[in-house]
Amino acid sequence: MTIVLLLKAAAVVQLFIAMLNLNLVAILKWRDQVAALPLLLKQVFHVHLWFISITLAIFATLSWRFAGDIAGGQLEIARWLAGAIAAFWLVRVILQIAYYSPAHWRGKAAATSVHIALLAVYSGFVLVYGFCCLGG
């Protein structure tokens, strides 16, 4: 599989994550918890939810549209973009490991599977974009 196809696959997956993120409250059954938050925290939560989704949609769109340029490693701006996206996902991997409590998933087969799958997907993004950042 070529790096261009991996970038296009990453674009599709990031767009999928962006759409899932917009439905996170319903998926995780957080309606009551979010409704109980003070107004400012509730608003910050929703703004961050939207901005993360928008950011991922931008990553997806740029990755799809400029996959060849990003994969080629010839354009400095494409390498910088790949590096920025790799850094974004690397921080997400670190947070997944170091910040989230294992109590959320340990001993729960489904939650553990999701935790491992997310780590694999996010790490895959780091590898693909990191490779492109380094010049392909």
pLDDT of 105 > 90? The answer is no
- The domain of 90 spans 3-133
pTM of structure: 0.92
Domain count along the chain: 1
- pLDDT tens for each residue of 82-98: 999 999 999 999 999 99
Torsion of CA 99, 112, 53, 91, to 10 degrees: 40
pLDDT at residue 73, as a whole number: 85
Residue 1 has pLDDT above 70, yes or no: no
